[in-house]
Amino acid sequence: DEQHVSALLVIADTARLRGDVDEAFCLVDQALALAEEHDQPANIALAWLMLGMMHWPRGDYELALEYLGKALVTHETLGKKSGSARDMMNIGIVYAYLGSYEEALEYLGNSLVRYEEIAEKSGVAVVTGNIGGVYAHLGAYDNALVYFEKALATHTELNEKSLIAAITGNIGSVHSSLGQY
């Protein structure tokens, strides 16, 4: 049963990344029902995480925060530090979308601390880049560049090419905003 739920969640995430959100919702709902039926709290938390990640692109920020909050509480209860770091990061991203930048920085900062505690370099780099993005939205370009440069260094060290490209683009956008063409 646990492998079945895990497989459904992987397929759902693939559907989400392909842009087939309706299929992803259906698969996550199936996985969540099975995980609840068989008392699999870790998979329940992953299903909630995915539901949160699927609701915010639709503009359903309150629902996204609700699901991400449930996932965070469950991951914290289970002692899953990587999961809770990811949940905090995603909650921070949702707050950034809402324009609640102080809350965004609070959650992203907590996520960064958690990723550093567990020495998950890629997570550190991703959340660092997100912090840079919040500072860029605030017009605090010097801070944005500091965080983007840190993220770029780690993504480069880990050879994460698509993330290197994204961060390099963000750095270029900041320089453009500063008139440094």
Q: What is the pLDDT of residues 18-42, one digit of tens each?
A: 989 899 999 999 999 999 999 999 9
Instruction: Give the pLDDT confidence score for residue 102 in this predicted structure.
Output: 97
Residue 143: what pLDDT? 97
Structure tokens at 156: 């480069």
Alpha-carbon distance of 3 to 66, in angstroms, equals 26
pLDDT at 88 over 90: yes
pLDDT tens per residue, range 119-170: 999 999 999 999 999 999 999 999 999 999 999 999 999 999 999 999 999 9
Is the pLDDT at 55 greater than 90? The verdict is yes
Q: How high is the mean pLDDT of the chain?
A: 96
- Residue 57, pLDDT > 90, answer no
Q: Which is nearest to 167 in space by CA: 141, 143, 146, 149? A: 149
Distance CA 103, CA 68 (A): 14
Task: Tell me which residue of 61, 146, 68, 149 sits closest to 111, measured CA to CA.
Answer: 68
Which residue, among 118, 130, 116, 114, has the nearest Cα to 163 in the 3D structure?
130
Is a pLDDT exceeding 90 seen at residue 105?
yes
pTM for the whole thing?
0.92
14: confidence class by pLDDT, cuts 50, 70, 90: very high
Q: What is the mean pLDDT of residues 68-97?
A: 97
The confidence score (pLDDT) of residue 53 equals: 92
